[in-house]
Structure 1
Amino acid sequence: MEKAETPLGEVQQAIAAACKRARRDAGEVTLVAVSKTHPAEAIKPLLIEGQRHFGENRVQEAAAKWPALREEHPAVQLHLIGALQSNKAEDAVRLFDCIHSLDRPSLVTALAKAFDKTGRQVPCFVQVDIGEEPQKGGCAVAELPALLDQARAAEIPLAGLMCLPPADIEPAPFFALLDKLARDHGLEGRSMGMSADFESAIMLGATHVRVGSALFGERG
């Protein structure tokens, strides 16, 4: 394998190697470059290299920097990976192409209204509080079936499940649990794995990995 000359190349090689070990096609895994807190100048090199999926935490920050970038790179797909307030649902639906943080009934209602108003149907991952850490947001595992039923009744397009495992604990069991929950509920997507653990996540079924520091360095 040729030596990767850029951080993006290194991450792409690591994803391909993890997929090979897992006997998966590398095309099954979407790399979401987490550009939150990083300015447009730091994002442009990745765009030039061909990266097209980017993750942002805040609606307001994304709205400030991405419209101009998208004029030059209209194929960009923006992912909202941070918590979403219900009163920002319409703004999020207008700006983002995928939402990874659907986690409560009130947000289902707000998103359904935003879809009707904007005419956009944005795929959503349901965030699961896989490590029982309420401060991180996410639906409790026990409440997941009811939330999925509500989302389906509201015709929310479900992309899959998302999780943030507890820090400083081996993440593999949490990834395995999210994979099982997704299978049990007939969902295709698993948004799991970040810079420190995306290879483990891929081995356990991740379809979307959210990588920031390995691409951009520490947060700006």
Structure 2
Amino acid sequence: MLKIEIAGSAIGGEDANEALWVDEIVSASDLANVSLTFRLESQRNVDLDNLVRPAMRALKRSGFYQSGFPELNSITASKLVGQPIGLTIESGSRLVPEGKLLSVESDRIPPSDPTFAWKSEWTAAIQKEWDAPVICNPIWLAISTTSLRSLVDLMKPIINVLERVLRRDPNGRNPFCPNDHLVDWLQIRRVSSGAALKLVAGMLS
């Protein structure tokens, strides 16, 4: 069930402010900027981007988006342990947390089928900016891109090269497999100018 809440007194038909009230409802249900909060069981070990993808696919099937998510400007997602277990979907974005530890830019976005060469290049760019020990605690990631491609599809290849920051998943079988279950807060947004791809990361308090 999708819940949309509109603050203020409801306006009835034939009221002078009816059009403004309708506009407010439309704005509140506009998911061009969408926030997803996943409340999980304790000790649940799951990658946040793996939760985001099926949720966004469901919203597309519900008619909020077309194929490729061209209407989408940003996704902000977070996971936390709490009751009741479930997912909250809201319109709007959120402020990026404080405490930046890493900022890296690239003039190349992941190709449609990310190659080993691209992942190696992106890994090298991160290693150049990261000279601290690996992180073993929850982190936040903020990604921005000028790409017009699906933000949903861009998340995983960008996150998958964070081994230098998060250490390698001991159960990983792929060449690029970080402990990305440590990402508890994630944002990816489309920008009109600046670096083709930028990633900023920090520790969650």
TM-score (norm 2): 0.31
Larger Rg: 2
Structure of greater relative contact order (alpha carbons < 8 Å, 6+ residues apart): 2
Identify, as 1 or 2, the structure richer in strand.
2
What's the TM-score once normalised by structure 1's chain length?
0.29
